[in-house]
Amino acid sequence: MALFDMVFKGGGAKGMAFVGALQAFSAANHQHRRLIGTSAGAITAIMTGAGYSPQEMLEECTKTDAVSGKPIFATFMDAPKEDDFSPQMVDNCETMTLIRQAGLTLPGLAMVEEKIIKGLLHLELYRELFSFNECGGFYAGDAALNWIRDRLVQKGLAADVTWAQFEQTTGKDVSVVTTDVTEEEMVVLNARTAPQCPVAESVRMSMSIPFVWREMIWQPEWGQYRGRDKSGHIFVDGGVLSNFPLRLIAESTPDVVAIMGSTDPNGAGNLGLFLDSSVMVPGAQESDTVRPRLRVADRVTRLMDTLTDSADLAVMRRYQNDVCCIPVGGYGTTEFRMSSARQQLLIASGKTAMEKYLAGNA
């Protein structure tokens, strides 16, 4: 048995491979100390810290929605509701400006503009496009946030549990990475840096892939981040600046210690779980699953993977012996509608990769 600090890479739907990796990790009787993740890795870190076993995580991740019958993660691509947009936002939106510029209304007949907008907002596809333009992402992300809250409640935690309360209740040291667009800064949320910030909202911020899910706004009641007010700041996916924050467990420089705490560097090994899209999942083909209606969502995530991986790979090369590379090639970041058969291949890829890694580092 060995103790590890663990980091989980972002990767959207490909993060299901972590379940298989954790199955092999647990079967070898290893345990974790600190946990940190980005996006899908943030979900994995929080569920692990909250007390979910790999088997429980498998059951949660492979469930289907009771209403639609689709994989549970497919509900994460949820269109915004009509009442998600304030009257002020609608009145000042780009569509309203274009209607006026196109001369589609007459002086003194402003009600016509309102009727056009209201009519368009009845259409789900238009609401997604409206959200993309006005809120920074096609999808609302409310289903994902509610799912995270429910997972916390299932383990006896409050849906709005803060980082301070999470650490006090679970005794686990968990962190998630997000990006403050307003200050152009990588933000690491945990009990040390943002004790009053809700855990569920933190994970939702971490998974906000730009242009896919709408941005999150830091609320005043979430308190400060490292003594600084972030109220009103815009937050998106942590992968914008670091999709694989291995440095935060591998190094003990003053800036890292300030965020991750002072721990015995010899008290635990380092283990990074890297989702490797360059290697095909054994037995899998390129996805023929129905893609999200707005194909640009996949284009954006592919671009994100390219940008973020290039920054993190330099760190990964320095600590390559601490990295378990999991093949996820052939799978899309937003492939949340994958079939059960493809889910099982992805999970098996994670399990096999971890078994090989542990055998090679015994």
Q: What is the DSSP string of 69-87?
A: -SBGGGGGSPPPPGGGS-H
Checking if the pLDDT of 286 tops 80, the result is no
pLDDT score of 24 = 98
pLDDT score of 32 = 97
Checking if the pLDDT of 148 tops 50, the result is yes
Per-residue confidence band for 54, with pLDDT thresholds at 50, 70 and 90: very high
Mean pLDDT value across residues 316-328: 92
Contact 25, 48 (CB under 8 A): no
Checking if the pLDDT of 73 tops 50, the result is yes
pTM of the predicted protein model: 0.90
Residue with the bigger pLDDT between 283 and 228: it is 228
CA distance 129 to 121: 10
pLDDT score of 21 = 98
pLDDT score of 81 = 92
Percent of the chain with pLDDT over 70: 90
CA distance 206 to 197: 13
pLDDT score of 315 = 79
Per-residue confidence band for 97, with pLDDT thresholds at 50, 70 and 90: confident
Pairing of strands 234-237, 173-180: antiparallel
Checking if the pLDDT of 103 tops 90, the result is no
Residue with the bigger pLDDT between 342 and 239: it is 342
pLDDT score of 295 = 60
Checking if the pLDDT of 243 tops 80, the result is yes
Mean pLDDT value across residues 316-341: 89
CA distance 166 to 315: 30
Per-residue confidence band for 290, with pLDDT thresholds at 50, 70 and 90: very low
Per-residue confidence band for 108, with pLDDT thresholds at 50, 70 and 90: low
Q: Tell me, what amino acid is at 172?
A: K
Per-residue confidence band for 198, with pLDDT thresholds at 50, 70 and 90: very high
pLDDT score of 289 = 47
Contact 345, 295 (CB under 8 A): no
pLDDT score of 11 = 87
Per-residue confidence band for 354, with pLDDT thresholds at 50, 70 and 90: very high
**Chain mean position to CA 351:** 21
pLDDT score of 104 = 61
Q: Tell me, what amino acid is at 320?
A: Q
pLDDT score of 266 = 85
User: Which range in 4-8, 81-85, 125-129, 292-296 is most confidently predicted, on average pLDDT?
Assistant: 4-8
CA distance 336 to 204: 16
For 333-353, how does the pLDDT look when each residue is reduced to its tens digit (9 = 90+)? Answer: 888 888 889 999 999 999 999
